[in-house]
Amino acid sequence: METLGFVGFLLRLGMTLVLVFATYNPSGHSYVHWVARQVGSPTPALALAGLVLLIGWIVFLRATLRAIGWGGSLLVAAVLAALVWLVVSWGWLDPHNVNAMAWVLLAALSVVLAIGVSWSHLRRRLTGQTDVEEVDEHR
């Protein structure tokens, strides 16, 4: 049985960060910005990149929602929001800096997805319980 270590979680987090920040980020270098520059003149590369990103979103969102659902996703997001609030209260982050807050929000979304795709492994480590998906076989 595969176990999820810290490196495994970091790899999943890295994949979600790439997906989220490749789709959109405030730097101006993202798929959303690329599409905005190409309005009216789509290219095959633009279409291919969009389809690859869409597949990534479907895979990660579906895995997250199956593992922790909307309630779990909202709970993780709430914990991250409280953490951001704490950091703001310490003066480490300016809530009026829209650019910085966008980066933080996108990173938090990546963390929610990473926890979602890692949840079965994390749950097994924490509780010793294994998640089993029922598959209805039709022959």
* Domain chopping of the chain, boundaries: 6-127
pLDDT at 108 over 50: yes
pLDDT at 123 over 90: no
Q: How many CA atoms lie within 13 A of 57 on its CB side?
A: 12
pLDDT at 65 over 50: yes
Asked whether 73 and 81 are in contact (CB, 8 A), the reply is no
Give the C-alpha separation, 11 to 5, whole Å.
10
Asked whether 67 and 116 are in contact (CB, 8 A), the reply is yes
Q: Give the phi and the psi of residue 43 in degrees, each rounded to 5.
A: -125, 160
Residues in the chain: 139
What pLDDT sits at residue 1?
46
Structure tokens at 19: 């997906």
What pLDDT sits at residue 112?
97
What is residue 96's three-state secondary structure? coil
User: Average pLDDT, whole number, for the chain?
Assistant: 91
